[in-house]
Structure 1
Amino acid sequence: MKTFINGMPAGDIEGATWIKAAASADTGVCVEMTRLPQGGAAVRNSTDPDGVALIFTAREIEVFFGGVRNGEFDHMFVA
């Protein structure tokens, strides 16, 4: 079974289906995610598709998305 590690080349994640938010489609700049076969997810920058991938467990993604939904990161962005 393949081991996925933080900082690995995103292009090395074979069979990945990278997904981005529909709202970013016209900008060409976005964060993309893919599910990993053993669970969890990888995240990459769409402007560098063969650059590094950050690897997260399913629990890490769940907690992060919960924080996003609760507005815990809103202060980081200017509207």
Structure 2
Amino acid sequence: MTVPEIAARGWYKSSYSAQANECVETRHSAPGGMAVRDSKDSGGPVLMFPADAWAAFIGAVKAGELPGA
């Protein structure tokens, strides 16, 4: 999937980010995966994660298994 194809679809940013552009945006991708990009560079590179990898990441975040920043 190319960046222009992804950019034409809806991206979502956390409501916790307020108006700041210092976060990431996410977008669901097929089949069930997740695309992630830097909110400051909407035309820049996009990371694509398969559904199982994204689910494992979210599970680890919720369980507090990842070190804090």
Matches within 5 A, 1:6-45: 9=3, 11-13=4-6, 15-45=8-38
Size of the aligned set, in residue pairs, is 69
Q: Tell me, which stretches of 5 or more residues in structure 2 are unaligned?
A: none
TM-score, scaled to structure 2 = 0.84
Specify the SS of the correspondent of 1:38.
Answer: coil
Q: Tell me, which stretches of 5 or more residues in structure 1 are unaligned?
A: none
TM-score, scaled to structure 1 = 0.75
Alignment deviations for residues 12-67 of structure 1 (CA, whole Å, 9 cap, x no partner) = 31542111110112322111000113321100000000000000011111000000
4+ residue runs over 6 A deviation: none
The structure showing larger relative contact order (alpha-carbon pairs under 8 Å, at least 6 residues apart) is 1
Cα RMSD after superposing both structures: 1.7
